[in-house]
Structure 1
Amino acid sequence: MTAMVETGWAVGYTVGIVVVLVVVALVVPILLLAHRIGRQAGAIDESLGESVRNTAGLAGLHTTIESAEIIVAGLNRGRTRLGG
């Protein structure tokens, strides 16, 4: 009876150790990947900020188009009055 109890404890400890090793084997790659993503996040954020600065002038594009249309319409009226 004592040998069977000791065998049960040994099997239990072995199964427990195997479960812990499997969990560690699955979690460590996830943590390494998360760390690598975290390092790249700063560079990505900086690049996106630079993109915002580089495209800020596009906000006034609609105004520029409206002004160009007004100028072209005025030129067309002038050409019509001059008989051209």
Structure 2
Amino acid sequence: MTKLAIFDCDGTLVDSQANICMAMEHAFEEAGLTPPMRHETRRVVGLSLVESMRMLLPEAADDLHHDLADKYRAAFWALRS
């Protein structure tokens, strides 16, 4: 008999909002920017990272959006380790 385990980390079984907010704060701080308020970060959950950065910093250059997305990924994985 084959057994299967499913891990659901999208917020249904595990509340990942705290890690998402902390990773966003780390990304912005590493870029020398003031982090968004947590309620602003929660509004962009579900969008792609670059689109999230565009929503949070609409006046910023596209290069910065991509850089912040990379910094977010690194921070998120560091928090999960």
Question: What TM-score range do you get, normalising by the shorter chain?
Answer: under 0.3
Flag the structure with larger Rg. 1
- TM-score, scaled to structure 1: 0.24
Determine which structure has the larger helix proportion and give its number: 1
